[in-house]
Amino acid sequence: WHREYNRIIDRFQSTVVGQFLGHTHRDQFYVYYSPRTYEPVSVAWNGGSVTPFTNVNPNYRIYTVNKLTLEVEDFDTYTYNLTEANQTPDSPPRWIKLYSFKEAYDVPSLRPRDIDLLAKKMSNDDQLFNKYFLYYMKNSDIAFVKGCDKHCREKQLCKVVAAPT
* Per-residue confidence (pLDDT) for residue 26, from 0 to 100: 92
What would the pLDDT profile of 19-75 be if each residue is shown by its tens digit? 999 888 899 999 999 999 999 999 999 998 998 888 899 999 999 999 999 999 999
Could you give the CA distance from residue 101 to residue 92 in angstroms, rounded to a whole number?
Answer: 26
CA 133/CA 151 separation, integer angstroms: 13
Count of Cβ atoms closer than 10 Å to residue 9 Cβ: 20
Q: What's this model's pTM, rounded to 2 decimal places? A: 0.92
95-118 pLDDT, tens per residue?
Answer: 999 999 999 999 999 999 999 999
CB 131 within 8 A of CB 143: no
Determine contact, residues 28/133, Cβ cutoff 8 Å: no
